[in-house]
Structure 1
Amino acid sequence: MPCADNRDGVLRLIEHLLTAEVYNTNPQLDLDDLPPQCRTLFLPGPDAAEVKRPVVITEGLLKRAGGPSDDLLKDLVKNPFVEFDTLKLQYHLTDLHAAAVWFATHGGKEMMEKNPALAFYVGDYDSLEVKYEEVRAKNPRFADSRAYLDHKIASLTAKDEKMAEALELVIVNAPAEIEQQMDGIVCTGDQIDVIRRIRTAIENRDFLKEHNIAEVGKLLFVGPPGTGKTSLALAISHELHMPVLEVRLSMVTSQYLGETSKNIDRIFDLARSISPCILFIDEFDFVAKSRVSDDHGAMKRAVNMLLKNIDKVSLVKNGVLLIGATNHPQLLDQAAWRRFDEVVEFDLPDETMRAAILRTITRTLACECDLDAVAERTEGFSGADLKMTVKEAVLSALMDGRRTVSQQDIEGAFAQVANRSVIRGCSWG
C-alpha cells in the first residue's frame, strides 16, 4: 500500500489525467471549467490565453506540476486504467468511466467539487451529489488571473512600446491577486449604494451607451488617512472582476517636466487599452496643490492634461472606472471637483462602526475580549488604527505563548496605538 503522501500525490496526478480527457472530449468546456492548477499546467506558456485540444499528459508535463518522484509515477501506472506509452512518454486513461468512479470513491470527490470539468462529467451521477453549475460558479475565473492579464499586457506592448513606458508608472494587479475582499471591509450604507450603482451601470453599459448616458463611474473618495479608501478601491476590483491600475500622481511627475503631460496621457491610454479596468489615482490633491502653488507653466499644462483626460475617460464608453482618492478635499478647486459624478465620504468610524470593524478583523481569531468596550474607548481611531491594535494584541499573546487574545492584550495594544497618535501630533524644532 502506498503511504498517505503518495496516495494524495497519485490522486492529484489522476485528476490531471481525468481533467485532460474530459476537456478533450467536451468542446463546450472552456478555461473557466479548469481549476487553476490544471489551467496553469495545460496552458502552453505564461503569456498564453488558450488551452489547445487535445491536451496530452506527458511525463515532462506531470513533472512540471510539482515534480512527482519516480516512486509516485510507478504508483500511478499501477492503476489498471492508467497506461504509459514508453515511446512517446505519455500517460493516458484506458477507461474514463472506470477512472472517474475509482477517483470519486478513493478520496477524489472533494477534488471533483472544486473541478468544473470533472463536475460536468459526473453531473448525472446522483449518488455523488456534485453540481456542475455550483462548482463552476465557485471556480476562479481565468479573466481574473494574472496569467490572463499578462497575456493582455504582452499583446499591447508588442503592438505599442509606449504601453511598456506607461506600465512603469503604475502598479497593475489582477482581481485574483487582490487579497482585500468586501467581506473584510465594513462599509457605510452610502458606500455600498455606490458599488451597487457601478455594478448596475456595468451590467447595462449597452443601454446607457445607446441613450448617451456616459457620465457614470468617476468616483472621488475623500476622508482622513486610514479610513479605507485604498482598501475599498482594491476590494471593488475583486468584487467587479476588473484589474486595477494604481497610480500616485506625485510619482508621475518627471524631473523633465515636459514628460509629465506625456506620462499622464500614457497612463490613460493604458487604462483604455486594458479595459475593463479600474484606474485608481491616489493623492489626487496633488492636482490642486500644483494648480494653485506651482508657477511653472509645464506643470500647469500637465495638470490641465490630467483634467482633460478625466473628461475623456468613461466607464460606459471605455470600460474604465475612475477612482480618485484624497485626504484633503478642501484643496480641490471646482475644476477638479466637478469632474467626478460621485463623491464618497470616508469618515472616522463611530462607535457602532468601530465595533463592527473590530468583529470583522477578529473573526478568525480566538478572542476573549469585550469588543464593544474597546469600541467605546477608541474614539478617533481609524480603521487602520483598529487593525494595528488587533495586530499588537495578537503579537502580545504569541509572545506569551498563547494563541487566544485576552482583554489584557487588547488593553496593552490600545495604549501603544494611542501613544503613537500622541507622538504623531508632537512637533520638535
Structure 2
Amino acid sequence: MFTDRDAFAGSITLVDDDMAIDWFVDRAAADRISANPVLAFVFGDEFGVDYETARDANRPVQADPQWIDGLLEEYFDEDDEEMLDLVDVRSPAELTVSLDDIVLTDDQEAEMSKVAKAIEHRDYLATIGLNEVGKLLFVGPPGTGKTSTARGLAHQLDLPFVEVKLSMITSQYLGETAKNVEKVFEVAKRLSPCILFMDEFDFVATTRTGDEHNAIKRAVNTLLKSIDEISLVTDDVLLIGATNHPDELDAAAWRRFDEILSFPRPDEGMRADIISLVTSEVDIADFDPAALAAETSGLTGSDLRLVLREAVLDALVEDRTELTQDDLMAAISEFEDRDHLRNLDTLEDALDDTHSDHTHDDHPAPNPE
C-alpha cells in the first residue's frame, strides 16, 4: 500500500504519492470533484471539472453562520458584550437580498465591480501602497436601494455584514458616543474580512458648528479619525456609509470617502425594470411594465414594492392569486392617495382637502334670533 501507520503515535503518512493519487482517481466521481475547489484545482482536467466553476459554487468559510458565531465566541468575551450591542452582525447566508434582486444604475454596477476587483487584488494594492481604497458613501433619498445594495454586495462577496445600530451608538452621557464609535470600528476589525455599514451616516457625522457641545464635536472627530485608521487593504474592512441628507454632513467627512455613489430616484426605464423584477413570481394578465412605469413618476423601488403588496392583498380579498394590469393601476392610485396624505404639512391641510367642495353657504351661520 501507499500509507504507513505509526503504531506509537497513531498517525498515518503517505509513502507513495503517485500511488495514492492513482488510487483516489480510480474511485472518485466528477460530482465529488466539483464539490471541492481544492480537488477541482488538482484533478479538474482529468474529470472535466472547471476550477473556477467549482470555486464559485462553494461559498468561503466566512459565509457560514457557524463561522461567524465561532468568531464572536473567540474574539469577544463577557467584558466585550457591550461592544456587540452596538452592531448587528449577519453572515452572507443570512442576507436575503443579492445584487441580482436590485436594479442598479450603470455607475452603481461599475462601482460594485471595482470593489470586487479591489478585494480580489488586495495584496497587489498593499504592495504598491494604495491603501485608501474601500470607503464608499451612498447618497440618495429614502427607498432608492442604499441599504439593499450594501447587503447585496455582502451577499455577492461572501462577506459578513456588520451594521451599526444608531440607536445604541448615540448616548445621552457625555463622551460615551465617541467611545461607542471607537468600539464599532474595533468590532469590524476583529471580524474582518467584513463590510461595516453605517446607515444615516449624517446622524453622527453632522456638520460641526461653533456653538455645539464639545461632546458632539468629539464624537465627530472620533468618527473621522476612525475612518482614517481603517482600510480595506490593511484591515480587510469595506466601509459603506449611507445618507439621505448629504447637506448635513461635515465637510471633512466627505473627504474621507474615496467614492461617492449617487442613488437617485429611478427614471422611467429603471422603474419598468424594477416592476418586472418585483413581479417576476406573480401571474399578471395583460402585464405591461412600461405602462405602469409611465404612471409612477417619482416613485422609488421601495414604493413600487409597496404598490405590488397593495395589489396582491386586494386580489387576495377577492380570492384571486392572479393579478391584472388594472389591479396594479388601481394600487398605484391608492399609493398616491396615501402618499398625498403623508405629505400634508398639518391636520388642517387634511381637513381643507376633505371639505374643499363645500362653501360657507353650505353651512350658513345660525340665525341670531
Q: TM-score, normalization: structure 1?
A: 0.68
Partner of 1:308 in structure 2? Answer: 225
State the partner residue of 1:409.
Answer: 327
Does residue 1:180 correspond to 2:97, yes or no?
yes
Equivalent position of 1:252 in the other structure: 169
Two-structure CA RMSD over aligned residues (Å): 3.1
Uncovered stretches (5+) of structure 2, i.e. residues with no partner: 4-10, 12-26, 348-369
Residue correspondence of structure 1 range 118-197 to structure 2 within 5 A:
134=53, 137-158=56-77, 161-162=79-80, 164-197=81-114
Q: Report how far residue 115 of structure 1 moved.
A: 8.8
SS in 2 for 1:196: helix
Structure-2 residue corresponding to 1:377: 295
1:396 maps to what in 2?
A: 314
**Contact (CA 8 Å) 2:33, 2:49: kept in 1 or not?**
no
CA contact under 8 A between 2:62 and 2:160: conserved in structure 1? no
Query: 1:409: Cα distance to partner?
Result: 1.3
Letter in 2 for 1:221: F
The whole-number CA distance in structure 1 between the counterparts of 2:247 and 2:207 is: 14
Alpha-carbon distance, 1:178 to partner: 0.6
Rg larger in structure = 2
**Matches of 2:205 and 2:92 in 1, distance apart?**
31
Give the Cα–Cα distance (whole angstroms) in 2 for the partners of residues 113 and 389 of structure 1: 46
- Separation in structure 2 between the aligned mates of residue 234 and residue 348 of structure 1, nearest angstrom: 19
**Pair 1:115–1:257, CA change in 2 (3 A):** farther
Query: Partner letter of residue 284 of structure 1?
Result: F
Specify the SS of the correspondent of 1:226.
coil
1:325 matches 2:246:
no
Deviations 1:149-202 (A, max 9, x none): 0001110014x833x221101111101111111111000010011111111111
Q: Give the aligned residue type for 1:116.
A: A
Matching residue's letter, 1:318: D
Residue 423 of structure 1 aligns with an amino acid whose one-letter code is: L
Residue 428, structure 1, aligned to residue 340, structure 2: no
For the residues of structure 2 that align with 1:114 and 1:425, how far apart are their CA atoms?
59
Counterpart Cα distance in 2 of 1:165 and 1:228 = 30
Tell me, yes or no, if the aligned pair for 2:204 and 2:220 is still in contact at 8 Å.
Answer: yes
Q: Deviations over 1:331-384 (max 9, x none)?
A: 223211111110000000000000011111111221222111000010000110
| CA distance in 1: counterparts of 2:189 and 2:124, whole angstroms | 20
- 1:424/1:170 CA distance change after superposition, 3 Å: same
Counterpart-to-counterpart distance in 2, 1:114 and 1:421: 55
CA spacing shift, 1:116–1:136, aligned 2, 3 Å:
farther
1:142 deviates by 3.4
Provide the rounded CA distance (Å) in 1 between the counterparts of 2:209 and 2:300. Answer: 30
* 1:348 and 2:268 correspond: no
Q: Is the 8 A contact 2:88 2:165 kept in 1?
A: no
Which residue is 2:24 aligned to?
none
Q: C-alpha deviations, 1:51-106, integer Å up to 9, x for none?
A: xx9xxxxxxxxxxxxxxxxxxxxxxxxxxxxxxxxxxxxxxxxxxxxxx9xxx9xx
1:135 Cα offset (Å): 6.0
User: Is the contact made by 2:162 and 2:188 (CA closer than 8 Å) also made in structure 1?
Assistant: yes
The residue aligned with 1:297 is 214
Change (3 A) 1:165 1:114: farther
For 2:277 and 2:210, the matched residues in 1 are separated by 42
Does the 8 Å contact 1:201/1:208 carry over to 2? Answer: yes
> What secondary structure sits across from 2:304 in the alignment?
helix
The two structures have a TM-score, normalised by structure 2, of: 0.79
Task: Check 1:313–1:192 CA distance in 2 against 1; reply closer, same or farther (3 A cut).
Answer: same
1:171 partner letter: D
Match of 1:227 among 137, 141, 144: 144
- How far off its partner does 1:395 sit? 1.6
SS in 1 for 2:136: strand
Please tell me the residue identity of whatever aligns with 2:258: D
Q: 1: CA distance between counterparts of 2:116 and 2:90?
A: 20
Distance in 1 separating the partners of 2:211 and 2:118:
38
